[in-house]
Amino acid sequence: MTADPLADLRELRQDQRRSHANGRPPAPEPPKRATGPVLDEAALYGLPGRLVQTIAPTTEAHPAAILINALVFAGNVAGRVPHARGGGVRHGTNLYAVVVGKSRGGRKGTAAAVARAPFARAFPQWFEERVVRGLSSGEGLIAQVRDRLTKSGKDGLEIVLDEGVTDKRLCIQEPEFGVVLRVMMREGNTLSAHLRAAWDGDNLAALTKNPLRASAPHISILGQITPFELEQLLSGVDVSNGFANRFLWIHAHRAQSIPRARPPALTALNDVVAELHEAITFARSQGDPVDFDGQAGALWDYLYDGLVGENAVGLAAEVTSRGEAQVLRLALIYALLDRSTAIRIPHLAAAFAVWQYAEQSAYAIFGDKTGDTVADRILEALRQFPSGLSRTGISALFNRNQSAERLTTALRLLEGSGRLRTRIEETEGAPRTIYELNEIDEGRESESGPNSSNSFISFPYMSKIRAWLAQNHCATCGTEIPAGLVNCASCVVASFEVRKGGAS
């Protein structure tokens, strides 16, 4: 920084004049790479699809918003017993999701109401007792699923201090999810930590005057928020600490105009309610881990690396960096609702379709924001100065109120993400570094997954699934085999040996 307090401002104006002198007016903000999420038809497989197709024609709510509400409800009412394992970790059917849309016209609340109705009819006690709202603290969360509390009396007999809660299922609906985010910003609030533990299925505990414990909780969350409120409240710490990537962020808008709403056909709705009851009864009886069948396992292996967010850079990439766990949970729910003891190709394809929509939503909502307020301000300014800004000009953006170290951190973040490039400009004195926006080809599809350093678009999961399915794979293990064959040689031999009692 210079000693002259006006030097930075003069430098900034010189950068602006230089930009106009080059015949390049300030550039408009570039379009976001995911301009509008599209729900692939594969997501409407099975019972969830029938539920959406029964309800969607009669409401203005977006089908994706109806679907995600239905999947979260189904996952919660199924309870903690059914589960899958991925990477050595237990994954239950509990999901966290937030529907993001305008305050007027987004039809977020409508989607929740119409999706909730069949579940309220099929499971009235669960709906009345275990669907709640009002998240405010970690202790309050634990209290909703608390264990029985006792102590020994003087005569050695057990005294019950609190009967606790026997049903550990809890579905939290928050139509004002911004309130939850504001609560979490308070110093000392433990809600974020407890919500992360609850998503993982861990036991919960709070060291209060009367200690609270909740063993084996099964907690799901459905929130609603506007894009502006989400951008303002989702702080960098909540992104980096794993809170945000436990949620599915679902973009929604009014799907159609229906001035006079009408209810779904009663017969079709009754059929959905009856199917829900049968499917959840089946799901709650599945104590063993639900695994992939041979073909689904091979497809999972094929797509797995595209899900893992090892190199996540930017806000959208950060909030979608838990893709492998989210897809596994979604596939598990689809399988259970199909009354299947294994995750098959249609279940996995449906899960990837939902995840692709969630990923596209994240990029549509957050664009190329980094989550770092200083870095994002620099990005915004560089769009107005196509010829670039010097370090002095960048300092002037903040009225010289940011330290050199803080600016360096932000610039390194932008350079590391591929959003920034530098060039050396000769001057009468010492050469100076000019920082320019490094626009990325918007037509490019990332082959290394959505979380590669320069990727601002969704990974093309569904096109890759369809390309994989166009090939011929062994019906047992999923290995690619010549056209016309049903099984690979190894599986044929193994099947023969089993039938012959181990004979070669």
Between the alpha carbon of residue 406 and those of residues 9, 266, 425, the distances in Å are 19, 61, 23
**Residue 15: per-residue pLDDT:** 62
Is the pLDDT at 440 greater than 80, yes or no? Answer: no
Spatial CA neighbour of 419 closest among 396, 435, 434: 435
DSSP assignment of 443-484? T---SS-TTSTT--S---HHHHHHHHHTS-B-TTT--B--TT
Spatial CA neighbour of 220 closest among 199, 202, 234, 203: 199
Q: Are 337 and 202 in contact (CB under 8 A)?
A: no
DSSP annotation of 308 reads B
Judged by average pLDDT, the poorest of 100-114, 232-246, 471-485 is 232-246
Is the pLDDT at 27 greater than 60, yes or no? Answer: no
Tokens of 84: 């899958």
pLDDT per residue as tens digits for the range 328-369: 999 999 999 999 999 999 999 999 999 999 999 998 998 878
The whole model's pTM is what? 0.84
The Cα–Cα gap between 203 and 216 comes to 6
Comparing 396 with 442, the larger pLDDT belongs to 396
Adjacent-strand bridge partners of 322: 308
pLDDT per residue as tens digits for the range 41-86: 999 999 999 999 999 999 999 999 999 999 999 999 999 999 999 9
The Cα–Cα gap between 398 and 404 comes to 11
Q: How much of the chain, in percent, has pLDDT values that exceed 70?
A: 86
Tokens of 305: 């690396």
**Residue 84: per-residue pLDDT:** 97
The Cα–Cα gap between 421 and 16 comes to 18
pLDDT band at 485 (very low <50, low <70, confident <90, very high): confident
Phi, psi of 424 (to 5 degrees): -100, 130
As a whole number of Å, the CA-based R_g of the chain is 26
Q: How many CB atoms sit inside 10 A of residue 281's CB?
A: 11
pLDDT per residue as tens digits for the range 166-194: 999 999 999 999 999 999 888 888 899 99
Is the pLDDT at 246 greater than 90, yes or no? Answer: yes
Domains of the chain: 7-29+371-416+418-437 (1.10.10.10), 41-290 (3.40.50), 471-504 (no CATH)
**Residue 29: per-residue pLDDT:** 42
Is the pLDDT at 504 greater than 50, yes or no? Answer: no
Helix (H) or strand (E) holding 132: strand 131-132
pLDDT per residue as tens digits for the range 283-296: 999 999 999 999 99
Mean pLDDT of the chain, nearest integer: 86
Biggest CA–CA distance in the chain, Å, is: 93
Comparing 63 with 260, the larger pLDDT belongs to 63
List the Cα angle 217/248/438 in 5-degree steps: 140
**What is the average per-residue pLDDT within 444-454?**
39
Q: Are 137 and 144 in contact (CB under 8 A)?
A: no
